[in-house]
Chain A
Amino acid sequence: MLWLALRFPALPLEIFSRGAAAPGLLAVAASSDAHAELVACNRKAHDRGVRTGMAVAAASALAADLRVLTRDPALERAALERIASWAIQFTSAVSIASAAEVLLEIEGSLKLFGGLSRLWSRIEQELDLLGYAVSMACAPTPFAAQLFTRSGLPVRIQHNDALCVSLAQLPVDVLDLSSESNALLHDIGARTIGACLKLPRSGLARRLDRELLDKLDRALGHIPDPRLAFVPPANFTATLQLPSPVAEAAALLFAARRVLAELTGFLAATGKGAQRLCFRLAHEGLQDTCINLDLSTATRDLEHLTAVLRERLGRLALPSPAIAITLECKLLLPLAARNLTLLPDAREQAETIARLVERLRARLGKDTVQGLDTVADYRPEYAWRTAEPGARDHGTWLPLSRPLWILHVPRRLEEIGDLPQHEGQLTLLAGPERIESGWWDGNDVGREYFVARSPAQSLLWIFRELRAGGGWYLHGYFS
């Protein structure tokens, strides 16, 4: 067994600050009371002299522009659960250990991810993408890994012998004992775990009940330490509080990318792809703005989702700045991981065209990006229709000469002495081809089509109306 402990020391602050690239001075207080203590502050606030443990009033006196938020344990728990769901992509055994700690059993995953150091740096990078600072440690027992992260040592211990040596150097404080036990150990001069291990067990058990011995035995793996496996939820919903109201598309995209990264991790963990996403932007005192992304194929590609969202956000006009983003994933479909191939295959090409269409539609609108198809009809304007790109075409056509361009609506041509004019008098080259059709659906046509040449040598497709009104019309160009 090899356990990787992830500890998020700044979680109370990061659940608020990770939504912005450069948040201002931020601090989190234990409660909304003016005398409450600060539990965390960001770097900028720290540089101005604000420290954790300070009263809110004192900190505000030091930095007038300090924004103090109230700690929200429910949000922290939700964030930690989302991190745990995200972590399931690395191992199936994930467990939430405490208010800010997640444990991963990774022994079985080392080979798949290319060894411990690769897995380590990948987890670090992806957590950075999510916006969390992490302290990590790796040890053969879960409790030992937790102890190392608490002391901030990024150790990677894979064997029990090394575990004993390293563990012995940790101070007893990391064990989180009761205050009487701590005082007693302090009095007898046992400052480190190593010193405690040298003391006779029977004496320790008599004076400190079983608490210390239990913890030491669990850390060293002498007694079993079962952990409850985390089960990811069936659906994905994530809310990101923005540290300050945001109206610009770029800043919104930055925040949205944080939740999208969480979503893609969750999707990779559950082996699914998202097809319908709903972003809700919350405003102060106004109704939420909804952005629905309907994708043509299920995906879990962060870059693609970001690209689609970027186009949508670029066109969006917000009624007022947003204060929070909620991402809800409405339609999750099973999506198997793709095998690596040397050459792109048909499936991959179909996927990329679907992506291109999605990107284009996200910016230009759904109806502007289409495919073409033919319809078996003699009337020229009914012989074609738009179709979904890539749909099977009928490919029916008649061996008739038809122009490559036609006009949406035929254009009336001037006539001089019964002869049609278009930039001068037209010369008729071929025809007539008579088309009389459509009496059954009310769009009856009766026309005689000709190929004509204009004085500028352009080839035109014109017709003479045989029905009421008569006259010559331009219907297309032989381009």
Chain B
Amino acid sequence: MSSALDAVLQNPAVWRGGDCARVVLPSVPTGFPELDVLLPGGGWPAGALTEIHVERPGAGELHLAMPAAARLTRSGRWLALIAPPYVPYAPAFVAHGVQLSRLLLVRTTSAEDTLWACEQALRSQTCGAALAWLDRIHERALRRLQFAAESGGASMLLYRSSRVSPVSTAALRLHVCKSQGRTLVRILKRRGGGLPEPIALDLHSATRTRNRPFPFPPSIAPTRWKPPFPCSTSRPVPPLV
């Protein structure tokens, strides 16, 4: 009985409400298998707009894009960072495997310029993906970005705050926040329908390797240590008394 049911369910014409429809979409794997299985096409949609809503920096929202960025830049495509809110720290990008010679950093002074730069980058056919930070954006402008991404076949990742309108033309919308030290990714909208449970990713495990008892007691906080001679290297903390 169950095998008969399985056979029916294998039929691609059958769609179950809780599932994401199995659609073949050009996409770039995110590098997180747990996330990939939830996304139609199995990754960041190429030639489409993705919105990532995040309340405050430090939730791992940029980290989410890094494996795909590394893959794109290693394959010779360009990655455009448009209007980043802080300085993209080059050593960290290298550590994530991003090839810096394929990185284009664009700083703008107005939202209008940001949108224009996004459109240019998406339409240029050389950029594999564009990451932009823009909060206030008109619905019509979103649609323009979507068209530009379609025409250039590039992925557009738009970072926005989570206080924005619930309706959007984006192909994929994610909400990223932190919970219990893990990054919680909630899918707000995806092509193919269905809203899965949020998934937790352990992105910052590397930063916790040298754990200390916390909260850090100020009493044993290291005192100033003066090298006996001018010292030009960063050295591990000397034994403290």
B17 within 8 A of A: no
Which of B8-16, B30-38, B137-145, B177-185 touches A?
B177-185
Min C-beta distance of B181 to chain A, whole Å: 7
In the complex, which of the residues B92, B101, B180 has the most CB atoms of chain A within 10 Å of its own CB atom?
Answer: B92
Q: What residues of B have a CB within 8 angstroms of the CB of A398 in the complex? A: 91
Q: What residues of B have a CB within 8 angstroms of the CB of A427 in the complex? A: 214-216
A478-B63, A479-B62 as given contacts; A374 in contact with B90, CB under 8 Å: yes
Q: What residues of A have a CB within 8 angstroms of the CB of B55 in the complex? A: 456
- Choose among B57, B214, B232 the residue that contacts A428 (Cβ–Cβ < 8 A): B214
Q: Please determine whether A479 and B105 come into contact, CB atoms closer than 8 angstroms.
A: no
A430-B209, A430-B212 as given contacts; A405 in contact with B104, CB under 8 Å: no
Q: Please determine whether A369 and B106 come into contact, CB atoms closer than 8 angstroms.
A: yes
Q: Please determine whether A466 and B224 come into contact, CB atoms closer than 8 angstroms.
A: yes
Q: Please determine whether A349 and B87 come into contact, CB atoms closer than 8 angstroms.
A: no
- Choose among A363, A403, A430 the residue that contacts B208 (Cβ–Cβ < 8 A): A430
Interface residues of B in 68-123 (CB under 8 A from A): 76, 78, 84-96, 99-108, 113, 116-117, 120-121
Q: Please determine whether A418 and B211 come into contact, CB atoms closer than 8 angstroms.
A: no
In the complex, which of the residues A360, A398, A408, A464 has the most CB atoms of chain B within 10 Å of its own CB atom?
Answer: A360
Considering only CB atoms, which chain B residue lies closest to A393 in the complex? Answer: B100
Considering only CB atoms, which chain B residue lies closest to A439 in the complex? Answer: B230
B162 within 8 A of A: no
- Choose among A373, A380, A402 the residue that contacts B95 (Cβ–Cβ < 8 A): A402
Q: What residues of A have a CB within 8 angstroms of the CB of B103 in the complex? A: 371-372, 389
Tell me the bound Cα distance from A399 to B55 in angstroms. 29
Q: Please determine whether A364 and B212 come into contact, CB atoms closer than 8 angstroms.
A: no
- Mark A368-393 against chain B: 1 for CB-CB distance below 8 A, else 0: 11111110001010011111011111
- Mark B212-237 against chain A: 1 for CB-CB distance below 8 A, else 0: 10111010011011010011111111
* Interface bin, chain A: 35 or more
Q: What residues of A have a CB within 8 angstroms of the CB of B225 in the complex? A: 434, 466
Interface residues of B in 193-223 (CB under 8 A from A): 204, 206-212, 214-216, 218, 221-222
Which of A20-28, A204-212, A447-455 touches B?
A447-455
Q: What residues of A have a CB within 8 angstroms of the CB of B102 in the complex? A: 390
Min C-beta distance of B186 to chain A, whole Å: 15
Q: Please determine whether B57 and A405 come into contact, CB atoms closer than 8 angstroms.
A: yes
A346-B76, A404-B88, A404-B89 as given contacts; A371 in contact with B101, CB under 8 Å: yes
Q: Please determine whether B222 and A384 come into contact, CB atoms closer than 8 angstroms.
A: no
Q: Please determine whether A436 and B215 come into contact, CB atoms closer than 8 angstroms.
A: no
Q: Please determine whether B104 and A392 come into contact, CB atoms closer than 8 angstroms.
A: no
Q: Please determine whether B104 and A458 come into contact, CB atoms closer than 8 angstroms.
A: no
A425 within 8 A of B: yes
Min C-beta distance of B162 to chain A, whole Å: 12
Q: Please determine whether A406 and B209 come into contact, CB atoms closer than 8 angstroms.
A: no
Q: What residues of B have a CB within 8 angstroms of the CB of A125 in the complex? A: none
Min C-beta distance of A403 to chain B, whole Å: 6
Tell me the bound Cα distance from A98 to B119 in angstroms. 50
B169 within 8 A of A: no
Q: Please determine whether B207 and A478 come into contact, CB atoms closer than 8 angstroms.
A: yes
Tell me the bound Cα distance from A357 to B126 in angstroms. 11
Q: Please determine whether B106 and A459 come into contact, CB atoms closer than 8 angstroms.
A: no
- Choose among B96, B105, B113, B221 the residue that contacts A363 (Cβ–Cβ < 8 A): B113
Q: Please determine whether B232 and A383 come into contact, CB atoms closer than 8 angstroms.
A: no
Q: What residues of A have a CB within 8 angstroms of the CB of B94 in the complex? A: 374, 393, 395-397
Tell me the bound Cα distance from A434 to B237 in angstroms. 6
Considering only CB atoms, which chain A residue lies closest to B102 in the complex? Answer: A390
Q: Please determine whether A369 and B105 come into contact, CB atoms closer than 8 angstroms.
A: yes
User: Please, how many residues of chain B have a CB less than 8 angstroms from a CB on the other chain?
Assistant: 74
- Choose among B177, B204, B218 the residue that contacts A478 (Cβ–Cβ < 8 A): B204
Q: What residues of A have a CB within 8 angstroms of the CB of B161 in the complex? A: none
Considering only CB atoms, which chain A residue lies closest to B78 in the complex? Answer: A353
A369-B106, A437-B232, A466-B224 as given contacts; A456 in contact with B86, CB under 8 Å: no
Q: What residues of A have a CB within 8 angstroms of the CB of B126 in the complex? A: 349, 352-353, 356
Q: What residues of A have a CB within 8 angstroms of the CB of B116 in the complex? A: 363
Tell me the bound Cα distance from A370 to B221 in angstroms. 41
Tell me the bound Cα distance from A368 to B104 in angstroms. 10
A323 within 8 A of B: no
Q: Please determine whether A429 and B214 come into contact, CB atoms closer than 8 angstroms.
A: yes
Min C-beta distance of B56 to chain A, whole Å: 5
Q: Please determine whether A477 and B86 come into contact, CB atoms closer than 8 angstroms.
A: yes
Q: Please determine whether B93 and A458 come into contact, CB atoms closer than 8 angstroms.
A: no
- Choose among B60, B113, B125 the residue that contacts A352 (Cβ–Cβ < 8 A): B125
Q: Please determine whether A406 and B86 come into contact, CB atoms closer than 8 angstroms.
A: yes
B132 within 8 A of A: no
Min C-beta distance of A282 to chain B, whole Å: 30
Tell me the bound Cα distance from A104 to B182 in angstroms. 75
In the complex, which of the residues B84, B96, B177, B232 has the most CB atoms of chain A within 10 Å of its own CB atom?
Answer: B232
Q: What residues of A have a CB within 8 angstroms of the CB of B51 in the complex? A: none
- Choose among B88, B106, B227 the residue that contacts A368 (Cβ–Cβ < 8 A): B106
Q: Please determine whether B61 and A434 come into contact, CB atoms closer than 8 angstroms.
A: no
Tell me the bound Cα distance from A356 to B94 in angstroms. 24
Q: What residues of B have a CB within 8 angstroms of the CB of A477 in the complex? A: 57-58, 86
Tell me the bound Cα distance from A456 to B162 in angstroms. 14
Offer 6 A-B interface pairs, CB within 8 angstroms, sorted by A. A402-B89, A406-B87, A423-B56, A453-B181, A466-B224, A479-B57
- The list of the 6 closest CB pairs from A to B, nearest first, reads A458-B58, A457-B178, A384-B90, A393-B100, A405-B86, A479-B62
Residues of chain B at the chain A interface (Cβ within 8 Å) = 55-63, 66, 76, 78, 84-96, 99-108, 113, 116-117, 120-121, 124-127, 177-181, 204, 206-212, 214-216, 218, 221-222, 224-225, 227, 230-237
Q: A346-B76, A378-B233 are in contact. List 8 more A-B contacts (CB 8 A).
A: A370-B104, A372-B90, A385-B90, A389-B103, A397-B91, A405-B62, A456-B178, A479-B59
